[in-house]
Structure 1
Amino acid sequence: MAARSTGSPWRTALLAPTGLAAAAGLAVLVLLVIFGPVIWGADATTADPLSLSQPPGAVHLFGTDAGGRDVLARTMTAARLSVLMALAASVFGVLCGVVVGSLPSVMPPRLGRAVVSIFNFAIAFPGLLLTIFLSVIFGQGATGALFAIGVSIIPVYARLTHTLSSSVGGRDFVAAARILGVGKVRVVARHILPNIAGPLIVNASVTAGGALIAFASLSFLGLGVQPPEFDWGRMLNEGLSKIFVNPATALAPGIAVVLAGIVFTLAGETLARATGVNPGLTHRLPRWIPRPALPAGNVLDDVSGNASGDAVLRVRNLRVAVPHADGWREPVKGVSFDVGRGEVVGIVGESGSGKSLSCLSVAGLTDFPLKVTADTIVFDGVETLRGEHRPAGVSARAVERLLGTRMAMVFQDPMSSLNPSLRVGGQVAEAGFIHGGLTRRQAWAKAVRRLADVKIPDPARRARQHPHELSGGMRQRAMIAMGLMGNPALIIADEPTTALDVTVQREVLSVLHDVQVDSAAAILLISHDIAVVTGLCSRVLVMYQGEIVEEIATADLVAGRARHPYTRALLAAVPTMDTDRSQPMATIAEVPA
């Protein structure tokens, strides 16, 4: 089950393994930058003629250099210059790159294309060669290296900014702003840049790590920091001549460069997660106030009377909230239902009624910033959610294993659900390898058998093919086979036949029916097609505006005994051979109570 965000985004991000590692690494770097020269400065600059080129020992952990100076002390002292110069070059390059990349959006088209051509031409050169070339122009020394690295970053960031801006610039909200007369500069600053801030932040962290390495490379080549100053790259240059005598003189600054680069990358990823900034969410999340659990004995305890007493899935008061500009909205509002073992239950409703979101929440497939709460969700005898959290004593690993082996998901579009770069057999086998305790060979053999079970011809050959080599129906059957790698007690089929033609729809539904009969697994079928649901399901849940407005047996639904006006309108909207095409489609006058 995917982890659900239950606290402050900052707290969630910082308590993750990535956040903890980033925080610890940044703390060490900050302390070294501030106090490194103060603590180790004397040992790093004072020559000792009696300790020239000493090997590592108790007094000098990484030995001494050719001047008798302690290598570890010099590494700690060099952190200030190395880190600050890398950050300065990154800030200069990133800011200039964002500005240059935004220019085509505010310039006349012809001039904008010329700017794009310029930074595309600059990107064609290898980054390090461009940096060396620029450092020769700007001159030797730390300042010249700073500008050389910063200028070499500009084309890369300009291209990234332009690409992301182009992807956002065609959206409806940007067109609406332009129609309202908002100026180009304001459109870029207010509507485009905030929506691409997430990728820019993450790439800025990678850029800082790359700048650190580039700065060390220039100093190593003699184009960066010049004596008597020294940074990690200068130390690598000095240690190169002693590499066969005392490798530690080069090892210490090399380790420092690698670790600092990793810290910058982890810090950027943590910052992007903590701020909640991504291409689809650019504002700070409003405060989340969870709804109180329903009191004991609520009428919701009496729902799903038609389900088996031994329910494989029991959901009570499921709510899903999404952030909105003026607070939180609930596309799923207090949904409660049961699915009995071996039962086939359908969920119908118009697009946006909350069908898929409800099932994804049950399967633990929602992620930040969505908030999922429920009085209880019990699957296969294990309570996976109570309120906002897992119940005490239920580990995340246990829930993941339960859902990975006992619950199967069949999505609407198998082409987007299957990795196009991997063979079908390997993807089907993955569940058995991860959750089933099988070896790769055993998992592959079982995957071939499962492909045969879902009536894919020549399964051994098909397993070695990629998704694009299979037809749409075969890809959907492969998704079903993937779910059968475990021993599923419940199969959630989310519009499994929508993307298929009528003939293939029948074949896939026949496979689902056979799987249900053979494995005794329950099926929760999400569909817009009333005919599909009534042909396969014994009971139907009707959703409207995030609520289950009616639960009805299939026989009663077919017989026209639906009670709710929305259900009756859904049935009336299904055309038949006798439908009067001159009459408007059936609608409901207002939101039913």
Structure 2
Amino acid sequence: MRRLRSSPAGLAGLLLVTAFVVLAVIGPPLWATDAARIDAAKILQGTSPGHPLGTDTLGRDILARVLVAGRLSLLLAVAATLIGTVVGIPLGALPAVLPRRAGRFVVGLIGSLVAFPGLLLAMFTTIVLGLGARGAVFGIGLAAAPAVARLTHTLTASVAGSDYVAAARMLRVPRRRVLLRHILPNVAEPLILNITMILGSSLLGLAGLSFLGLGVQAPEYDWGRMLSEGLSRVYVHPEVALAPAVAIMAAGIGFHLLGESMARIAARESRHAPTGPAAPAPPVDVPADTPSAALELRGLTVTFPGGARPVRDVSLSVNPGEIVGIVGESGSGKSLTALAVGGLVPYPGVVTTARLALAGQEVNRLSRAARRRLLGTALAMVFQDPMSSLNPALTVGSQLAEVPIVHEGLSRRASWTRAVNRLRQVRIPDPDRRSRQRPHQFSGGMRQRAVIAMGLMGTPKLLIADEPTTALDVTVQRQVLELLAEVTVRTDAGVLFISHDMAVVSQICHRVVVMYAGRVVEELPVQDLPEPAHPYTRALVACLPDMRTDRDRPLATIPGRPPSPVDAESTGGCAFASRCGFATPLCVTERPPLKEHGAGRRLACWYPRSGPVREETP
């Protein structure tokens, strides 16, 4: 509501909708008597002190009738919207749970219905069901259903491919439960916001049908019927037709402004998920804060609807000039942690932190503009697939130059010069020519270097590299790793390096943070990586073959699979207990806290191991 009131369009829409709702409540009790009073001596009069908007063919006061008609007009619009919603939402959600062929048929049906003119469909339905309010409501409701179905299908399709939905399907969760529990709750907010705009469209459609004589019939009346009755007098007494027309227009605009503003605010909130401490974070034993740290993260938790928390109580720090690696299996929360630091957690995820400081500045305490400026200049992110980070329709140089133009206000010429220099710094040959080329003209390694150059366009204090070498061959991979190390030394920026490759992490990182099921289970210096203390870390190291590995023996593996975010949350003990060969009943019932375990090390395990890893499989 605070953001809605700060938006001129949203405030105008809120005031208009509130006024019409209040009018619908108090209108009939206050003015119904005046609206129904017949006065033969004042038939078809114009504006007068007693009748500010004149009278109708029976001498009834038009202003009173306009005020009273607001209730019926709004009630019919709400009823039509409910019909469109009840029909459209299930129809649009069906493709997400039906088999592929049946889903395609439903999608084609929705497309055909959307292509059919809505007003013609409404008029046809009204004529079939009979003239009057009931036929008009069903006509407008069924005409709105295809649009609701298309919107629902678009939203559910964006959620249906999520990992948590795929996990539910793998676990044989019934399709109806997948739809009701995992899909629809995640699209409820945008649906509700768009339905507000559909309500305004329904009101206009019903007024149109009444104006054509297909809607409300005498002796009942709504704004559309009053507009039709006053049209014949518009050249003599224009105020007679003006009043219902203004009411229809103002109500329609109000609902559209309110819905559009709410949708825009919700979209901004989803891009900037709240990072303030919604609840006090439990105490965590962590090293003392370093004022000059590139990143200080305390008590990070990411929550999704349904109780899923794929990241729970993560705390770590990155010092200037230091490369900290985050390792773990897929689904352990590595990438989501990086997205939370950058404020990029997708909707409807909610981020809470006890502390999130970047280059010594508390991100949660900054205004939106200051936070955007800080993240745009002091934070750089390099993703696994550079093609998803680069717009194929724009030249590489223009995309790099956009960073200082937006965040620092530099001129286009100065920004372009900096972009060429940054491409030269990441060892791209002939940077002036390459800057005028598009991403598809770059090789995979060059695109990754261009993305690193994009991160260097500001003054990064922290560089987040999310598996930047996974899609590259070994030779190019080594070049990119060397480049990251060189950038760290040259800029003194801290690097958060996310990977599932223990060999790569051991080559480039100074410290290693091991995550499992959304939690940090161990942190240790990279030189101690051959002798980790947590059974999970030891299993990861054991799975990495080297020149001494006996080729006659099968490769070491970790039995079982990681728990889902919901299962990990419901587990009271250690999440790794079911896969650990050293687990005891204590491990199953009580979760080990994350505590210091020697100099520069943290560990969450009841029974830490010691000694070198000998390819043991827990």
TM-score by length of 2: 0.69
Deviation, 1:34, is: 0.9
SS at match of 1:301: coil
Cα 1:302–1:201 change in 2 (3 A) is closer
Instruction: Please state if 1:349 is matched with 2:320.
Output: no
Deviation, 1:215, is: 2.0
Letter of the 1:433 counterpart: I
Letter of the 1:344 counterpart: I
- The aligned runs of 1:218-297 (5 Å cut-off) are 218-225=209-216, 230-234=221-225, 238=230, 241=234, 250-251=245-246, 253-264=248-259, 290-293=280-283
Instruction: Please state if 1:81 is matched with 2:72.
Output: yes
Deviates more, 1:514-523 or 1:151-160: 151-160
5+ residue gaps, structure 1, are 1-10, 277-287, 385-389
Deviation, 1:39, is: 4.4
> Using the alignment, how far apart are the partners of 1:104 and 1:533 within structure 2?
42
SS at match of 1:346: strand
Instruction: Note the alpha carbon deviations across 1:282-341, whole angstroms, 9 max, x for none.
Output: xxxxxx8644446xxxx53359xxxx88422233x434253686x67574445233x222
Letter of the 2:299 counterpart: L
User: Match for 2:296 among 301, 305, 314?
Assistant: 314
Instruction: Please state if 1:398 is matched with 2:370.
Output: yes
Deviation, 1:160, is: 6.0
Letter of the 2:248 counterpart: P
> Using the alignment, how far apart are the partners of 2:453 and 2:392 within structure 1?
17
- The aligned runs of 1:175-214 (5 Å cut-off) are 177=172, 200-214=191-205
Instruction: Please state if 1:589 is matched with 2:570.
Output: no
> Using the alignment, how far apart are the partners of 1:400 and 1:273 within structure 2?
12
Instruction: Please state if 1:381 is matched with 2:367.
Output: no
> Using the alignment, how far apart are the partners of 2:395 and 2:156 within structure 1?
34
Cα 1:99–1:550 change in 2 (3 A) is closer
Cα 1:187–1:213 change in 2 (3 A) is same
Deviates more, 1:509-518 or 1:483-492: 509-518
Deviation, 1:455, is: 4.3
Percentage identity across paired residues of the two chains: 46
Deviates more, 1:30-39 or 1:16-25: 16-25
* Matching residue of 1:153: 144
Contact 2:194 2:259 in 1 (8 A): no
Instruction: Please state if 1:493 is matched with 2:465.
Output: yes
SS at match of 2:352: strand
Letter of the 1:313 counterpart: L
> Using the alignment, how far apart are the partners of 1:254 and 1:333 within structure 2?
51
Deviation, 1:102, is: 7.5
SS at match of 1:311: coil
Instruction: Note the alpha carbon deviations across 1:149-178, whole angstroms, 9 max, x for none.
Output: 122234444566678788859956457558
SS at match of 2:287: helix
SS at match of 1:438: coil
- The aligned runs of 1:85-96 (5 Å cut-off) are 85-96=76-87
Cα 1:380–1:81 change in 2 (3 A) is same
Cα 1:370–1:73 change in 2 (3 A) is same
Cα 1:86–1:579 change in 2 (3 A) is same
* Matching residue of 2:121: 130
Aligned residues: 540
Cα 1:80–1:103 change in 2 (3 A) is same
Deviates more, 1:105-114 or 1:353-362: 105-114
> Using the alignment, how far apart are the partners of 2:70 and 2:551 within structure 1?
78
5+ residue gaps, structure 2, are 271-277, 559-579, 584-604, 607-618
User: Match for 2:449 among 474, 477, 501?
Assistant: 477
Deviation, 1:510, is: 3.9
Instruction: Note the alpha carbon deviations across 1:98-144, whole angstroms, 9 max, x for none.
Output: 56667899999999988776655433312233223434444544333
Deviation, 1:95, is: 1.9
> Using the alignment, how far apart are the partners of 1:105 and 1:344 within structure 2?
42
* Matching residue of 2:507: 535
TM-score by length of 1: 0.71
Cα 1:104–1:41 change in 2 (3 A) is same
> Using the alignment, how far apart are the partners of 1:362 and 1:191 within structure 2?
25
Contact 1:232 1:256 in 2 (8 A): no
- The aligned runs of 1:50-61 (5 Å cut-off) are 52=46
Instruction: Please state if 1:572 is matched with 2:542.
Output: yes
Contact 2:96 2:160 in 1 (8 A): no
Cα 1:70–1:511 change in 2 (3 A) is farther
* Matching residue of 2:286: 300
* Matching residue of 2:522: 549
Contact 2:311 2:337 in 1 (8 A): no
User: Cα RMSD (Å) of the superposition?
Assistant: 5.0
